[in-house]
């Protein structure tokens, strides 16, 4: 089968395209998905380079976004059949533990992520447990569906669940034209929130304006974004800040967040550690909340929103699977708006 494999960690030159990778076998509780589209995520670049403490079994296949068609079913599979269009929750979590009982299976210590703990989506076929499958409506394309399991679900989890944004609230997001940002902004606006967002290139700033973002900032020109935000909120600050930048943005986040507000962390682009004032945190009643992805039921709800036309993923670039290295380079350059899709 077609696949892009890693034989070792390193740069984009380590992504090897082949048409002769063996088709994987499935277990009784799994289906074999014929992947039609996937996308590039920041996590793919991090895993490719080598994530501290993560040991991959080579050859490894990256990719957490899976949309496609069921090609084969295991003997224990009940609710899916060959030919079904599907999108896949990027997490495998089947342990009957306390997290599952609380409806938070995605936070179970036993969780596995496609493209990290399991073979991923840069391939023609991959095995998927039935518990991670979601049926895909006919009016949602495979390319659109591939934008949802990682970036889309992260945005949904941040805005709708952890952030719990409501009408009249304020939301700030760094890099609003990212895959996460373009979905999060649509969800926040639909909830009646006032949106503050940044971008670093002129074409991206214009895109934020077209999306109806209320307050737009260029994070590359050296302006004091935190001061401007405080000025425009009359000193009150922001209810919910969505941050995947990490330590470089943290002091600004801490300054901008409203008393009683939330800072949501879902990425580490600029490092893994940051200094925090415990005194100011409790004095201002600030919630510092880590999060990743979301639960399967949230992805199901997001798929329904896409099918209804109320939210639309933005696809900035579409390439073929063999061009995965180019796609990684485009992601690293940061000029593409929304998602970079690979057709399989």
- pLDDT at position 165 is 96
Percentage above 70 pLDDT, the chain: 100
Average pLDDT (217-242) is 93
Q: Is residue 300 part of a domain?
A: no
84 inside domain = yes
Same domain, residue pair 27 and 138: yes
102 C-beta neighbours (distance < 10 Å), count: 10
Considering the entire predicted model, what is its pTM?
A: 0.95
Of 32-36, 255-259, 281-285, which range is least confident? Answer: 281-285
| Residue 297 included in any domain | no
Same domain (yes/no): 164, 260: yes
Closest CA to 170 of 257, 47, 286: 257
Mean pLDDT of the chain: 94
Kindly state the tokens that stand for 159. 């805005």
Which tokens sit at 22? 């063996």
pLDDT at position 118 is: 95
Do 96 and 20 belong together in one domain? yes
pLDDT bucket at 51, cuts 50 / 70 / 90: confident
| Residue 223 in this model has a pLDDT that exceeds 90 | no
- Bridge partners for 22 per DSSP: none
Question: Do 186 and 313 contact (CB within 8 A), yes or no?
Answer: no
Confidence band (pLDDT; 50, 70, 90) for 199? very high
Select the more confidently predicted residue: 238 or 284: 238
Angle, helices 42-49/324-333, rounded to nearest 10 degrees: 110
Predicted local confidence at residue 186, as pLDDT: 98
Q: Same domain, yes or no, for 141 and 156?
A: no
Q: What is the pLDDT of residues 315-334, one digit of tens each?
A: 999 999 999 999 999 999 99
In the predicted structure, residue 54 carries a pLDDT above the cut 90: no
Task: Let me know: does 133 contact 80? Beta carbons within 8 Å.
Answer: yes
pLDDT, average across residues 286-290: 93
Reduced to 3 states (helix: H, G, I; strand: E, B; else coil), residue 233 is: coil
> If pLDDT is split at 50, 70 and 90, which confidence band does 268 have?
confident
Residue 246 sits in the same domain as residue 226: yes
- For residue range 63-110, list pLDDT tens digits in order: 999 999 999 999 999 999 999 999 999 999 988 889 989 889 899 999
Tell me if 298 is assigned to some domain: no
pLDDT of res. 274:
77
**Domain identity same for 162 and 280:** yes
Q: What is the number of domains present in the chain?
A: 2
Residue-level pLDDT at 238: 98
Residues 110 and 219 in one domain: no
Q: How far apart are CA 131 and CA 217, in angstroms?
A: 42
pLDDT at 112 over 80: yes
Question: In whole angstroms, what is the distance from residue 55 CA to residue 116 CA?
Answer: 9
CA 58 to chain CA centroid, Å, is 24
Looking at residue 247, what is its pLDDT?
Answer: 77
How is 166-225 classified by DSSP, letter by letter? Answer: -TT-EEEESSTTBHHHHHHHHHHHHTT-EEEEEESSHHHHHHHHHTT-SEEEETTTT--H
The two three-digit tokens of residue 65, written as one number: 């976004």
The answer as to whether 308 is a domain residue is no
Domain identity same for 282 and 162: yes
Before 59, cis peptide (omega within 30)?
yes
| Same structural domain, 7 and 143 | yes
φ and ψ at 277, to 5 degrees? -85, 105
If you average pLDDT over residues 177-188, what whole number do you get? 97
Query: Residues 166-191: what's their mean pLDDT?
Result: 96
pLDDT value of position 266: 86
CATH number of the domain enclosing 186: 3.40.50.720
Question: Which pLDDT value is given to residue 246?
Answer: 73
Q: Are 112 and 91 in contact (CB under 8 A)?
A: yes
| Placement of tokens 């990290």 in the chain | 116
- If asked whether residues 81 and 117 sit together in one domain, one would say yes
H or E segment to which residue 8 belongs: none
Q: What is the pLDDT of residues 145-155, one digit of tens each?
A: 999 999 999 99
Residue 235 DSSP label? T
Cα–chain-centroid distance for residue 67? 15
Is the confidence at residue 269, as pLDDT, over 90?
no
* CATH code of the domain covering residue 74: 3.90.180.10
- Range of 336's domain? 3-147+313-343
Give me the pLDDT at residue 271, please: 72
Q: Are residues 168 and 68 in the same domain?
A: no
pLDDT at 158: 97
Write the DSSP assignment of 112-141 as a string of letters.
Answer: EEBTTTB--SSBSEEEEEGGGEEEPPTTS-
In a domain, 303, yes or no: no
Percent of the chain with pLDDT over 90: 85
**240: part of which helix (H) or strand (E)?**
strand 238-243
Domain co-membership, 28 together with 99: yes
Which one, of 116, 111, 107, 115, lies nearest residue 91 by Cα? 111
């Amino acid at each position: 089968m077609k696949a892009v494999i890693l034989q070792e960690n390193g740069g984009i030159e380590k992504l090897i395209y082949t048409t002769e990778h063996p088709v994987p076998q499935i277990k009784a509780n799994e289906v074999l998905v014929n992947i039609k589209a996937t996308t590039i995520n920041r996590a793919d670049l991090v895993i490719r380079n080598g994530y501290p403490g993560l040991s991959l079994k080579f050859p490894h296949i990256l990719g957490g976004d899976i949309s496609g068609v069921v090609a084969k079913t295991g003997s224990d599979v009940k609710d899916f059949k060959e030919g079904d269009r599907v999108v896949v929750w990027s997490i495998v979590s089947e342990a009957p533990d306390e997290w599952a009982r609380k409806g938070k299976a995605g936070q179970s210590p036993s969780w596995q992520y496609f493209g990290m703990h399991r073979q991923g989506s840069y391939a023609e076929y991959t095995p998927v447990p039935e518990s991670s499958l979601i049926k895909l409506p006919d009016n949602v394309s495979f390319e659109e569906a591939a934008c949802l399991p990682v970036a889309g679900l992260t945005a949904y989890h941040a805005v709708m669940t952890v952030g719990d944004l409501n009408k009249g609230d304020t939301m700030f997001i760094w890099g609003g034209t990212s895959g996460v940002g373009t979905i999060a902004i649509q969800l926040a606006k639909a909830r009646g929130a006032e949106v503050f967002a940044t971008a670093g290139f002129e074409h991206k700033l214009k895109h934020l304006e077209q999306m109806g973002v209320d307050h737009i900032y260029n994070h590359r020109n050296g302006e004091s974004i935190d001061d401007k935000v405080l000025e425009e909120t009359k000193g009150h600050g922001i209810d919910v800040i969505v941050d995947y930048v990490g330590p470089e943005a943290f002091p600004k986040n801490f300054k901008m967040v409203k008393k009683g507000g939330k800072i949501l962390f879902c990425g580490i682009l600029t490092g893994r550690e940051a200094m925090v004032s415990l005194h100011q945190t409790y004095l201002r009643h600030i919630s510092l909340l880590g999060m990743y992805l979301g639960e399967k039921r949230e992805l199901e709800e997001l798929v329904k929103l896409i099918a209804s036309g109320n939210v639309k993923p933005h696809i900035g670039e579409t390439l073929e699977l063999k061009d995965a290295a180019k796609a990684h380079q485009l992601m690293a350059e940061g000029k593409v708006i929304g998602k970079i899709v690979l057709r399989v």
